[in-house]
Each structure stands twice: as structure tokens, then as C-alpha cells.
A and B are shown apart, each in its own frame.
Chain A
Amino acid sequence: MDITMEQKKQYQKRVEQVCPQTNLLTGCLKAFVVGGLICVLGQMINTWIMNFGADRQLAATWTSISLIFLGSFLTGAGWYDNLGKFAGAGSIIPITGFANGIVSSAIEFKKEGFILGLGAKMFTIAGPVLVYGVLASAIVGLISYFVG
């Protein structure tokens, strides 16, 4: 090839100038508001359940279950991706986004069968979160065991 590294680098720089980037400030604001609202919703559910006399741990479990159900339901109904398009990380990071990652993969690969499609592929997005989540908690657990 007759193009030099220098030409390539120059071109890559130009591509970055020409292609528009998402506005960081409005992106962060939208993510903050939507992510915040999801958390407020979670807090409301939590308080509501505790009003029935549930202890903290039980209420937290039910809150997670409710939010996961909601995220899954909205994904199945085809609404969560619209929310994600608007909010970005604001709707990806909360537990509803985790549900969205699993359910959207499950829907997408259902055609390939319940075992090799749905079953195997439903963790393509959420799988790494589980793997590294478990790994991180194991490391933190070890540190706290020896240090704490």
C-alpha cells in the first residue's frame, strides 16, 4: 500500500473533526435526570414495602425484583430502547438496564431455539457484568477479610 502512517494519522484526526460528537453536557444532564428518577422510583417502592412492616433486607429484595420486572416489561413492550436512546447511561446503569440487557438478548435470539439461542445468548450483554461483578466482590471480600 502506498499510504504512509503519517497520512493515516492525519486522516484519522480529520475524521474526528468532521464527525459530530454527542454533546457531553446535555448527555450527562439527561442521564442524571432519568437515572435519578429511576432511583427515586426504587426508593418509593422500598419505602412503600417497609410501611407494610418489612425489614430493610426484605424491602430491598422486593425493590430489586420490582425494578427488574419493570425493566423487562418495558423491554418486551419495546419502550425501554426509546428511553435508552434519550437517557444513555442514565437507563443502562440502574438495575432496569441490566434487565433490559438480558431480556433484549433473549428476545433477539429466541429464533435460534430455547437452548442455543435464548438460553445461551441471553447473557451476551449482561454476562460480563456478572463475571466481573462476582470477581470484584470476591476481591473486596478477601481484602476486607485480611484488612478489616
Chain B
Amino acid sequence: MGKHVGRQTVVFDRPPVIASGASVVGPKEGQGPLASYFDEIWKDEMDGEKSWEKAESKLMKRAITLAIEKAGLKEENIQYILAGDLLNQLTASHFAIRDFSIPFLGMYGACSTMGLSMEVGAMLLDGGFADYVAVSASSHFCTSEKQFRMPLNYGSQRPLYATWTVTGSGSLVLAANGDGPRITAATAGKIVDYGIKDAFNMGGAMAPAAADVMKAHFQDLNRGPDYYDLIITGDLGYYGTQLTRELLEKEGFLLDERYTDCGIQIYDKEAQDTHGGGSGCGCSAVTMAGYLLSEIQKGAFHRVLLIPTGALLSPLSTQQGESIPCVAHAVVIEKE
């Protein structure tokens, strides 16, 4: 039993394979730099649905269906779905997954949900509890604004450091056996709260959680950042990544140009007016299932550290003046 290494990390004996990935996104993401990596791009934010919430569920349902198809599997082959989103009581996921006849494990890690789902899914597979699991996460700009911020047509200004919630869902099928990129290790994050209260400043709030889990990861595995060709956080955006760099530098870990963020990759900051970058569960999910998986399969990257980051606030906690507890989960994806 050498699977648990150090304080927070697990190293898989039989590293699960990422058998396939699928991503479905909204129009804005489809105009961004990663457009060519997405399986489906919607023409509008509703895609014929009656509410934004239904539309978000449809994104996830479609992404899971596509991922299962692309893996050459059928619904009955998948033993578990692990998924989550940002809406109260995981509304988007529950209504997406009720149409599947697959056991469901709900995951909530705010925008870190994709990392959390991959980590737990890989544990299930390595533990011998399943042969195939599907993992998924989604977010929708309109549902998030409605739940966490202001009505869409309200004429307010967003701070320059605010991030833009990604409309999209990314899904992966993970397999116990087979060929392809493997999840070799994962580090579970602790909840970290440095007292940031500004709900627009997610990057600033989450950076300490990202830095904390990365530090634990490097220490547990006795590795430095130079082990990886790409280190990519979930949705810290431009300012959050800078803060993460600074925090880790203080701990003696230098993140050079190999470090970036899904929220930086997904939008063109100038042309798309997205201010601080992209955010939301969908941000790391579609970047993983689209861009990262594709580039890893092509051999552009061999060792990737993906760290989806989540701000665990609620509209209630913000109104009550609480600070923002945050979490991040680090997942190692390797391909020979």
C-alpha cells in the first residue's frame, strides 16, 4: 500500500487512461483561440431550450454522450458518472444526468469540480471499483450571473479584474485499461482562505489555494515544477496567476513560462473584452477535454499538471460579509 504519498497525494498503481474527451461550448468560447478543439459550438446561449438552466443541462448531457461515443462505448459500459456544476443543488448536472441510466456521484468543488471528479474517478478505477467512469463539469455564463451576480440586462460595470464565466461542458471517459494519456497521480487540496471578500475577485481569492496544493504536490512527490512541460491552473485568470507565481516563489518554487491558466487560454482578452480571463467549472473542463487532451494525444505535452481551482462561496455567504474559502485539486496527466 504505497498509494498514499506524503500528506495529500495519491500515486496510482494502475494509472487510469483517459479514453476520450468531448466538449460543447457557447458562441463566445467558439470565437476564442481554442475554438478548433471543441466538438460542438452553439450558435446562441439557449440552443432552443426554454431556460438557461435547461441549456446548461443540455451542454453537459451532450458532452457526456459525445465522450461515451468517442470512446467507442455504450451507456451500459459506464459504471459511474462523476459530475458537478455551479448551480444550487447541482441543478444543471442532476437534470442532465437523469436521462442516463448510469449510477451518479455528485461532485461539488465549485470551479475545481473537473479536477475533483478526475481525481475521485481515477481512484475508483485504480481501486478496482469500476472499468469505465465518465467525469464531467459544466457552467453557463447566464445561469452563473443570475445566481451569483446581477440580472444580465442590468447596466452595471464589471471591475477590470473580474472574470467571465465560460458557457460550456467538458466530459472525459476514464478507463481502467487501454492506451492513451494516463492519470498518474493527484493531490487533493485543502480549503484555504486568505480573507478576500470581493466576489468579483475570484483569481485573487483562489490563488493561495492553488499555490497551497501545488506546494503540497511538489513536496509530497519530491518533484519540482521542471518535472512538467505544462502546469495549468483552472480559472485564476491573469491576475490570479501572477499572485500564484509570487506565492510559490516565496516557497522556493519557480514557475516559469511553462505555467499558464485555462482562463487565459480560452479567450482573447483584447478582442473578447473578458477582462481578467475565463472562469467557471466549464473553463477547466472544456480546456481539458478539448485543448489539453488533444495536444497530449498529439505528443505536444508529455507531462501535464492540471490544477482546477474553486471559490467555495455562495450568494448567501457573500451577502453576510464572509470571506471566500477556496480549494484546488492537482491532477497529473502523462503520456509516454
Contact = CB atoms under 8 A, between A and B. Distances in A.
A80 B194 contact: no
Contacts of B187: none
Contacts, number: 99
A8 B326 CA distance: 14
Nearest to A5: B195
Interface residues of A, number: 38
Given A18-B204, A105-B151, A11 B194 contact: yes
A103 B160 contact: no
Interface residues of B, number: 31
A18 B146 CA distance: 28
Interface of B: 50-51, 53, 146, 150-161, 192-196, 201, 203-204, 208, 239, 242-243, 246-247, 276
A80 B151 CA distance: 12
Interface string A80-108: 11111101100110000100110111011
A70 interface: no
A128 B116 CA distance: 40
A107 B50 contact: no
A107 B151 contact: yes
B243 A15 contact: yes
B242 A104 contact: no
Given A14-B243, A19-B160, A104 B153 contact: yes
Contact of A80 (B146, B155, B192): B155
Interface centre among B155, B195, B201, B246 (most CB of A within 10 A): B155
A21 interface: yes
B206 to A, nearest CB: 11
Nearest to B246: A14
22 contacts: A11-B195, A18-B239, A19-B160, A19-B161, A19-B201, A19-B239, A20-B160, A22-B157, A76-B153, A78-B153, A81-B156, A82-B155, A84-B154, A85-B155, A88-B156, A91-B155, A104-B154, A104-B155, A107-B151, A107-B153, A111-B50, A125-B150
B194 A83 contact: no
Contacts of A108: 146, 151-153
A9 B323 CA distance: 13
Given A12-B196, A18-B242, 14 more contacts: A3-B208, A11-B243, A15-B196, A18-B239, A20-B161, A21-B159, A81-B153, A81-B154, A82-B155, A92-B156, A105-B154, A108-B146, A109-B151, A125-B150
B157 A88 contact: yes
Contact of A100 (B53, B155, B247): B155
Nearest to A106: B151
